[in-house]
Chains A and B, each alone.
Chain A
Amino acid sequence: MQSNSDPRIIQPVELRVENVAKSFGSFVALQNVNLTCKVGQVTALVGPNGAGKTTLFHVIGGNLAPDSGRVFLNGMDVTGLPPYKIARRHVGRLFQDVRVFPALSVAENIEVAFLHRSDYSLATTLAWWRAEAREKDRRERAMKWLEFVGLADKADEPAGELSYGQQKLLALARIVALRPALLLLDEPTAALSPAMTKKMVDLIRSLVAEQKLTIALIEHNMGVVRDLADYIYFLHEGTVHTHGTQKEVLENPAVRELYMGLSGGMAI
C-alpha cells in the first residue's frame, strides 16, 4: 500500500456534478442532476434499475457527453474529455460486469494499468540496458496490488481461468494500480458470494481509510451501502429525488416505497 510519505502520492479529488442532463431520443436518462462526492468519503448512488445511475457514471467517466451540465474534478471542468484523459486525471472505474483480459496473465492484467505512464514512453522502452530493472519494478508493483486483493499466488495464471469473484477482485486491483484519487464503483458486489462480498467491502473500506480515496458507489445491496456509505443520493427516473445521510435517505418513506417496496415501519 502507498504510505503518506510517498512523494508520488496523488492529490485527493472532489467530484462535483452540476445540472447534468442526458437524453436518448425521447427517453430522458438524466435531468438536472447535481451531486458532490467529498474527499475521503464514500458517496452511494442508489435507486431502481433505469434510474440513471450508470448513465451518470458514463458521463463522469467521459464515455457519454452530457446534453447539458458540467462535471468538475477539484473545480476543474472535465466535461466531454475522452475517457482516457479522465482516467489520467486519476479517476478509476470498476464496471458492473466483470471485465478482465482473459488471454493475459493475472499479473499482466495489472501491468496494463501502468502502460500510460512515462516509463512506457518510446524513449524509456528503447533504453534496453534498463529493461531488466524496469521489468522487476513493474512486477513488484503488480505483485503489491495482487497481494492487496489476495491473488498474489495466481499471478502467472491466465486471468480467464479465475473464478467470477476472483476476476472481480482482479478488476479492483487493476483499477487501484492506476493510483486513482476518485473511484467510480458500479455494483462491486453484484453476483458475489457472501464471503466474497465481505472481502470486497473490507478492501473498499481499507482504500478509503488508508489512501483517503474519494469513492462514488452504485449498489443495490443495502447491507453494503450501510457498511460503506457516508452520504447517499437516491436517484429516481433520472433525477436526484433525495440525498443525505444514511438515516435521512434510507428511512425516508418515499425512498422506502419507491425503491424497496416497503411501507411504514418495515425493517430493511
Chain B
Amino acid sequence: MNLFAQLLGNGIVQGAVAMLYAAGFGFVYRSFRVFHIAMGAQFVFSCYAFYLCATMLRLPLALAVCGTLALSVLFAAAIEWAVYRPFFHKGCSSGVVMIASLGVMIVVENLIALAFGNEVKTISNQLEPSIVFSGLRFTRIQLLQFFVGIGVFAAVGVAVRFGKWFKALWAMGDQPELLPVLGLPLMRLRLLVMSIGGILVAIAAMLISWDIGMDPHVGMHYLLLGSVAVFFGGTDRYWAWGAGAMLLSVLQSLAVWKFSARWTDLVTFGVLIFVLLFRPQGLFGVSKRLEEAK
C-alpha cells in the first residue's frame, strides 16, 4: 500500500510538470494546427540553456532562470520566423510543416550534441534532502516541481479563461485568415503563441533537468508525452490538456507498480488508442457537428 501511495504521489508530481509541456505543445497545435514536433527541440534547447546559465556561467539562480526563459522565447521565435511562418505563407499542408518541424528537432538535437557532447549533464541543485509526509517521501525539488507546475498551469488557465486575447488565439486555430479581417495582427499573434509555448516548455525543462539532468536526446520522450496528453484530454480545452497530462503521468507511475518501468510507454499508448477509439475528441473534448469535423 505504501508503494502504491508513493508511486501515486510521484505520478502526481510528474503530472504537474507534464501539464506545462503538454500546454506548450497544445497552444501551438491548437492555434497553428501543426503537430509541433519542434517542441522536443524547444525542450532540449531550454535544458541546455539552463545548464549554460546555471552551471557554465554560474549565474545566480534567479538570473539563470530569467536568462533561460529569454533564450527559450528567442528560440521559439526563431522557429516561427525561419520555419513555420514561411510554410504558412506558402499555404503548405500540415503534413509538410510537420516534417519540417521534425527536421528542426533533429538538427537542434545534433547541434546540441556537437556543442555539449552526448553524455548526461547534471545541474547541482543543493536541494537533495527529502521531506516525509505520512510515510511518503518527496525530495524538495519534487515539491518545487509540484507547486511551480500547478501554479503556472493554473495562472495561465485563468488568463485563458478571462483574457480576451486568448480568445483570439483559439480563434486562430479555426480561421486564421479571418483575424486580420477583424483588425488583428495575425503574425504578431503567432509569435505570441510560440512565446507562450516556449515559456511553458522552458519552465518544465528547467524543473526536470534540475532534478534528473539532461542529454541531447530527451526531447522526443517529452514531445510524445506532451502530445499524447493533449489528444488524450481533448485538443480544444486548455484544462483538458492538464487533466490528460496528469492522468497519463499517474497511469505511467502506477504501471511501474504492477509491471515494470519498461512498460510505461505501452500503457501510455494503449490507453490513448483505447480512449480515442471511443472518444475521438479526447476524454474531456467537445464533440463536433459533422459539418465541422474535418
- Give the contacts of B265-294 with A (CB-CB under 8 A): 286, 288-289, 291-292
Contact A174 B289 (CB under 8 A): no
Contact B167 A99 (CB under 8 A): no
Q: Assuming the A-B contacts A84-B186, A120-B164, A158-B286, are A104 and B171 also in contact, with contact meaning beta carbons closer than 8 angstroms in the complex?
A: yes
Measured CA separation A82–B182 after assembly (Å):
12
Contact B292 A104 (CB under 8 A): no
Contact pick for B289, options A108, A115, A131, A161, CB 8 Å? A161
Return chain B residues, CB-CB under 8 Å to A138: 164
Return chain B residues, CB-CB under 8 Å to A84: 179-186
- Give the contacts of A219-260 with B (CB-CB under 8 A): none
Task: Closest A residue to B175 by CB, please name it.
Answer: A99
Q: Assuming the A-B contacts A84-B186, A115-B182, are A102 and B163 also in contact, with contact meaning beta carbons closer than 8 angstroms in the complex?
A: no
Measured CA separation A23–B167 after assembly (Å):
36
- Scan A102-139; emit 1 where CB is below 8 A from any B CB, else 0: 11100010011111100010000100000100000010
Return chain B residues, CB-CB under 8 Å to A160: 288-289, 292
Listed from nearest, the 3 A-B pairs whose CB atoms lie closest are: A83-B180, A116-B183, A87-B183
- Of A61, A63, A113, A115, the most chain B CB neighbours within 10 A belong to A115
Q: A interface vs B, CB < 8 Å?
A: 61-63, 82-84, 87-88, 92-93, 95, 99-104, 108, 111-116, 120, 125, 131, 138, 158, 160-161, 164, 174-175, 178
Measured CA separation A164–B171 after assembly (Å):
18
Q: Assuming the A-B contacts A99-B175, A161-B289, are A88 and B165 also in contact, with contact meaning beta carbons closer than 8 angstroms in the complex?
A: no
Measured CA separation A82–B162 after assembly (Å):
29
- Give the contacts of B136-178 with A (CB-CB under 8 A): 162-165, 167-168, 170-171, 173-175, 177-178
**B236 sits at the interface (CB 8 A):** yes
Contact B163 A125 (CB under 8 A): yes
Q: What number of B residues sit within 8 Å (CB to CB) of A?
A: 27
Return chain B residues, CB-CB under 8 Å to A178: 182-183
Closest CB in chain B relative to A62 CB, distance in Å: 7
Closest CB in chain A relative to B210 CB, distance in Å: 31
Contact A93 B181 (CB under 8 A): yes
Measured CA separation A93–B179 after assembly (Å):
11
Contact A87 B164 (CB under 8 A): no
Return chain B residues, CB-CB under 8 Å to A87: 180-183
Contact pick for B174, options A92, A102, A125, CB 8 Å? A102
- Scan B226-266; emit 1 where CB is below 8 A from any A CB, else 0: 00000000001000000000000000000000000000000
Given contacts A63-B177, A82-B185, A131-B162, list 14 more A-B pairs with CB under 8 A: A83-B181, A95-B178, A101-B170, A101-B174, A103-B171, A103-B286, A111-B167, A112-B184, A113-B183, A114-B164, A125-B164, A158-B286, A174-B182, A178-B183
Contact B182 A113 (CB under 8 A): yes
Task: Closest B residue to A174 by CB, please name it.
Answer: B182
Contact pick for A102, options B177, B179, B183, B292, CB 8 Å? B292
Return chain A residues, CB-CB under 8 Å to B165: 115, 120, 125
Contact B186 A103 (CB under 8 A): no
Return chain A residues, CB-CB under 8 Å to B173: 103
Measured CA separation A116–B189 after assembly (Å):
12
Task: Closest B residue to A120 by CB, please name it.
Answer: B164
Measured CA separation A63–B292 after assembly (Å):
25
Contact A116 B170 (CB under 8 A): no
Contact A108 B186 (CB under 8 A): no
Contact B180 A62 (CB under 8 A): yes
- Scan B173-205; emit 1 where CB is below 8 A from any A CB, else 0: 111011111111110000000000000000000
Contact A103 B175 (CB under 8 A): no
Return chain B residues, CB-CB under 8 Å to A103: 170-171, 173-174, 236, 286
